[in-house]
Amino acid sequence: MEIIPEIHQVEGVNGNCYVIVRDGLTIIDTGLPRNSPKILSYIRDQLHRSPAEIRTIILTHFHLDHAGNVTALKNASGGAAKVAVHEADAAYVSGKTPPPRPKGVMGLLVRIIGIFMKPDIFQPDILLNDGDRVEGLVCIHLPGHTPGSIGLLDEGTRTFFAGDTLRFDGKTLEGPPEQFTMDVDRARQSVRKIASLEFDLILSGHGVPLRPGASGKVREFAKTYGPAGS
């Protein structure tokens, strides 16, 4: 579905997969494994573009439900697409560092899912840092959920892609789920970092778009999200 001109979401993909349609195609997050057919079908049938036009695949972080289809999409581009991830998450997507698993019941669930869905192992082409620009988007480093979690600010459309650092379910704005967050205190700091930015629309890794006046709503949320000094 088209959210605003040039920015689309591929429905039915968990987590959210966004496609920016300009001279080429930029994909932000790719969802759980086995969703590449949905993404490629959307590109062909809804956008009437070719997968060969996928220029860049940007990951907001390394988790399976965001990085699950990178190799399939890069292959569909003829190998031309560049994969961008923050340098602090690069070792996870390349398989050099095994991802941590949640404790308790959630950890067991993740292990069971892992039997059926294997992580996509690949070498990123672009290592991002705070303030870098990629396809016209400003990379905002938001450590906490993962060490290399990022947001992406599209200044032209005043849109902020938040990854999992923020999520909106249509009623409530929340931070990342604590059981899947590697450093909750740093995640709180990252939410306050987002609150210092200006944007009209926020698009998260899960949930629905938040608009209008999204940055003001994030500022209100940040006041109540965890200890002020954390």
Distance, in Å, from the CA atom of 203 to the CA atom of 191, rounded to the nearest integer, reads 14
Write out the two tokens for 68. Answer: 């699950």
- 174 within 8 A of 219, measured Cβ to Cβ: no
Distance, in Å, from the CA atom of 152 to the CA atom of 159, rounded to the nearest integer, reads 8
Full-model pTM? 0.93
What's the first-to-final CA gap in the chain, in angstroms?
Answer: 38
Query: Domain ranges in the chain?
Result: 2-224
Tokens 């031309």 — which residue? 80
Radius of gyration of the chain (CA): 17
Q: What is the pLDDT of residues 173-227, one digit of tens each?
A: 999 999 899 999 999 999 999 999 999 999 999 999 999 999 999 999 999 997 6
CATH of domain 2-224: 3.60.15.10
Q: What is the pLDDT of residues 18-70, one digit of tens each?
A: 999 999 999 999 999 999 999 999 999 999 999 999 999 999 999 999 999 99
pLDDT given for residue 99 in this prediction: 86
Omega of the bond leading into 95 within 30 degrees of 0 (cis): no
Question: CA angle, 17 as apex, 200 and 215 as ends, to 5°?
Answer: 15
Q: What is the pLDDT of residues 102-130, one digit of tens each?
A: 666 665 566 666 656 777 899 999 999 99
